[in-house]
A and B are shown apart, each in its own frame.
Chain A
Amino acid sequence: LRGLARREDTGQIKRWLATVTVRHATAKLRERAVWRLFDKGDATDYATLADPGASAEERQMIEDVYRALDTVSAKDRVAWVLRYVEGEQLEAVAELCGCSLATAKRRIATAHDKITRHVTGGRS
């Protein structure tokens, strides 16, 4: 919270909040992955993830994507979500993930490949 006190405008606050959220989300995803090894993970209700304004087709797609994301490593997943769910630019993804642009691209590509194969049933 000391970091927040130094931010003056909303843009800076959002950026600070995003950085904190990314770190926190990455840690939580890793923790969840460990619990899943022992079959102790919380069951996720994927049907509730979609925005109320999303179409039925998009709801299904989001559900499938998030099922696929559960098979992706935490770092790759966060990078992909930032890019394709939050709509961040690649540079912003790299900054938020604390990695280089090339690494961010590689993480997104890795996650995308897994998600695509999962959603299409391995057909692509």
Chain B
Amino acid sequence: MSLEQRLRQGPLLVRSLWTEEQTATLPDAVAQRQRRRALRQRIALSSSVATVLIGSVVALLVNSASVPSARQASTSAVRQPIPMATPVPSAEGRSVPAPGEQLTLVDGTRVTLDRGATFDVVQQTAQAVLCDLASGAATVEVIPNRPRSFTLRAGEVTVAVIGTVFRVERSAEQTQVAVERGHVSVSWAGGSQELRAGERGTFPPSSASDSVPPSDSDEPSRAGDRSWKQLAKAGDYNAAYRAFQQQSQPLQRVEELMLAADSARLSGHATEAIPHLSRVYREFPRDVQAPLAAFTVGRILADQLGRPMQAAEAFRAARALSSSGPLAGDAMAREVECLVQAGNVNQARDVAGRYLKLFPQGRHRPQMQKLAKQD
């Protein structure tokens, strides 16, 4: 039989791999398979969600467990007292341990909070740790001989630590500082005072009579200019400025210059503060106050006098005076900001690039990156 003849009789008898029964049961089989697939998808989705949730919880637990260690700070020497007239730049991050908690840092520094105390770790860099006691009392035991400075703010009062055990108790108006071991430098608007082991004081002094024991600057031989200093230390800057205008004694020490600058600046005569501050960082470049003086000049020029180019130079001086100090990063960022305001974008971009190299984790990183990437 030829192929033509065979095909005329009907289809070739090729073995079928599919049966009518399979056709009839196909929908059920498919439906079952779809149900299994949907179940697998739900299980996979649930597993993913559970994994994400568990991961989030673990991350939160790890994060919360690592918060104390993230606040690690060690101190050895006071870099500089920080007057409230020129507050430390804002925080890298904030965290609040529970009242009554004892915070033990990795290097052994311990912060014991009294019940009801509110304590924040405001800033943490390789050079400095800045904490803030918003209310209540805390005892801080700092391990000496560490490269990082430890500064605690309590309202208007700032305590810079040299490696010591001290207690700070804050009330509504004043802050009491008691040193158990070592010594600290306490500063407030218009003055500063070092306290040694066994000494205590209430800051800022409510009046001249309540002020801390006279320092060397108030010795009898210089009684003529005591009044304006006392007024400034008491926070009466308007009167201090007026009294300062009446005296003719030349200022020769950093403390006097800073006080005169604060009196001028805080009584609304910012321009007249600049010569005093400029003298501090030009005549006493090695003094711990020098970077702060330059930074303050930059702030006055930029924020109050609208002179960004000169402000940039002052900020550059501030970071040059303390390239590894706590102000260096902020000074660099402010320099960039002023250069941009002055229209010197190329130079600003260069400085921003250096900031990113020097402070890869700095808090101004996003702005610096944005500027550095701009064409």
Q: Which residues from chain A sit less than 8 Å from chain B, CB to CB? A: 1, 4-5, 7, 10, 13-14, 17, 48-54, 57-58, 61-62, 65, 84-87, 115-116, 119-120
Beta-carbon contacts of B16-33 to A below 8 Å, as 1s and 0s? 101000011011001001
Q: B13: which of A14, A17, A48, A58 is its contact (CB, 8 Å)?
A: A58
**Interface residue B173 (Cβ < 8 Å from any Cβ of A):** no
Contacts of A119 in B (CB 8 A): 3
Chain A residues within 8 Å of B4, by CB: 116
Instruction: Determine the distance from Cα of A14 to Cα of B6 in the docked complex, in whole angstroms.
Output: 27
> When A13-B27, A57-B1, A61-B3 are in contact, do A1 and B13 touch as well, CB less than 8 Å?
no
Cβ–Cβ contact A62 & B12, under 8 A = yes
Tell whether, in the assembled complex, residue A58 and residue B26 are in contact, meaning their CB atoms are under 8 Å apart.
no
Contact check, A4 vs B30: say whether CB atoms are below 8 A apart: yes
Q: Is the CB of B34 within 8 A of A1?
A: yes
B23 touches A17 (CB 8 A): yes
Question: Could you give 28 example pairs across A and B, Cβ below 8 Å?
Answer: A1-B30, A5-B30, A7-B27, A10-B23, A13-B23, A14-B23, A17-B18, A48-B15, A49-B14, A50-B14, A50-B15, A51-B13, A51-B14, A51-B15, A51-B16, A57-B1, A58-B6, A58-B13, A61-B6, A62-B12, A62-B13, A65-B12, A84-B11, A85-B12, A87-B11, A115-B3, A119-B3, A120-B2
Given A13-B23, A13-B26, A14-B23, check contact A58 B12 (CB 8 Å). Answer: yes
Asked whether any CB of chain A lies closer than 8 Å to the CB of B223, the reply is no
Counting residue pairs across A and B whose Cβ atoms lie within 8 Å, the total is 58
Chain A: minimal CB distance from B4 (Å): 7
Interchain CA distance A85-B2 in the complex, whole Å: 16
Do A62 and B27 contact each other (CB < 8 Å), given the known contacts A1-B34, A84-B7, A115-B3? no
Q: Is B250 among interface residues, defined by CB-CB distance under 8 A? A: no
**B10, closest chain A residue (CB):** A87
CB-CB under 8 A from B1, the residues of chain A are 57, 61
- Nearest Cβ distance between residue B230 and chain A, in whole angstroms? 89
Taking each of B11, B12, B34, which has the highest tally of chain A beta carbons within 10 Å of its own beta carbon? B12
Q: Which residues of B contact A116 (CB under 8 A)?
A: 3-4
Within the complex, the shortest CB–CB distance from A67 to chain B, in Å, comes to 13
Interchain CA distance A45-B6 in the complex, whole Å: 22
* Bound Cα distance from A72 to B11, whole angstroms: 19
In the assembled complex, the Cα of A17 lies from the Cα of B11 at a distance in Å of 20
Complex Cα distance A50/B118, Å? Answer: 90
Q: Is the CB of A54 within 8 A of B13?
A: yes
A86 to B15, CA, bound (A): 11
Q: Give A48 to B16 CA distance when docked, in angstroms.
A: 11
A73 to B24, CA, bound (A): 33
Residue in B closest to A64 when the chains form the complex, CB atoms: B3
- Find chain B residues with CB under 8 A from A54 CB: 13
Expressed in whole angstroms, the minimum distance between the Cβ of B13 and any Cβ of chain A is 4
Question: Which residues of the other chain, A, contact B30 by a CB distance below 8 angstroms?
Answer: 1, 4-5
CB contact under 8 A between A50 and B13, given known A4-B27, A13-B23: yes
Contact B14 A85 (CB under 8 A): yes
- Return A24 CB to nearest CB of chain B, in Å: 13
Q: Quick check: A4 and B26 within 8 Å, CB to CB? A: yes
- Additional A-B contacts beyond A86-B11, A87-B11 (11; CB < 8 A): A7-B27, A10-B23, A17-B23, A48-B15, A50-B13, A51-B13, A61-B6, A65-B3, A65-B12, A84-B11, A120-B3
* Chain A proximity of B214: nearest CB distance (Å): 91
CB B245 to nearest CB in A, in angstroms, measures: 90
Residues in B with CB closer than 8 Å to A7 are: 27
Given the complex of chains A and B, what is the CA–CA distance between A51 and B30 in angstroms? 28
- Distance (Å) between the CB of B155 and the closest chain A CB? 70
Contact indicator A17/B12 (Cβ below 8 Å): no
Of B4, B10, B14, chain A has the most CB atoms within 10 Å of the CB of: B14
